[in-house]
Amino acid sequence: MSHLILVRHGQSIWNLQNRFTGWVDVELSEQGRKEATKAGELIRDLNLDFKSIYTSYLKRAKETLDIILDVNNLKNKEIIKAWELNERHYGNLTGLNKDEMRKKLSEEKVHELRRSWDTPPDKLDRGSPYHPINNQIYKDIPLDHIPDTESLKDTYERVIPYYKKNIMNKIRDNILISAHGNSIRALCKYLFKLDNNIISKLEIPTGNPLILIFEDNVIKSAKYLDQSRSKDLIIF
């Protein structure tokens, strides 16, 4: 058996403020650090040896991973950072409060922009301080790879090719990925063969490890380690 553990970062300061975050590089909140510590403790109880460890370019995912590794005495493990595992880019919604946008655009429209498969928000102006081309952490990414906005479909189309090329052939070993709600949703859509309607219902809780157990590269089970904070996987 082998294990793939997917962890959405702990609560960030913009999660706490109920803002669309996307590619903006915000830190964990105090609650988020507690969630990451709890995630580390739950993973430690599994007594697994991780051969490959991945995270995105964003500090909230990296900080979550650092806390998990510290709890597990794995600080010296190599970490592979991939921008392809970044959160979905929320276009011109970036930085805005979700409740305020529901009042402005309607509950239905915001739900469509957040949860539909292939409807992206309008593009974020490249002069915005929130645009990733204006952040030095993305300086090594070709400009034509940096989005102005994304749907979940767009996110899927960068996450899954990366997974197939760099991670899928390592599934015989134990793998840990610290990423984001929508990059993990994209992975779940692929791994569990979810259709475009079902994926809109999948919620990924912050800081709660999702463990997938494989036998002969086939998923045999999947569950959240913290059952008190689990979401309905709509899978098993």
Question: Token pair of 35, please?
Answer: 């969630």
Furthest C-alpha separation in the chain: 50
Say which amino acid occupies 28.
Answer: L
CA angle at residue 168 from 201 to 232, to 5 degrees? 20
Nearest to 53 by CA among 119, 102, 111, 4: 4
CB 74 within 8 A of CB 2: no
CA distance 104 to 62: 34
CA distance 103 to 42: 39
Nearest to 171 by CA among 131, 217, 208: 217
Question: Token pair of 235, please?
Answer: 């899978």
Residues labelled as active-site residues: 9, 87
From the CA atom positions of the chain, what is the Rg in Å?
17
Q: Is 6 helix (H, G, I), strand (E, B) or coil?
A: strand
Cβ-Cβ contacts under 8 Å for 162 (sequence gap 6 or more): 82, 84, 85
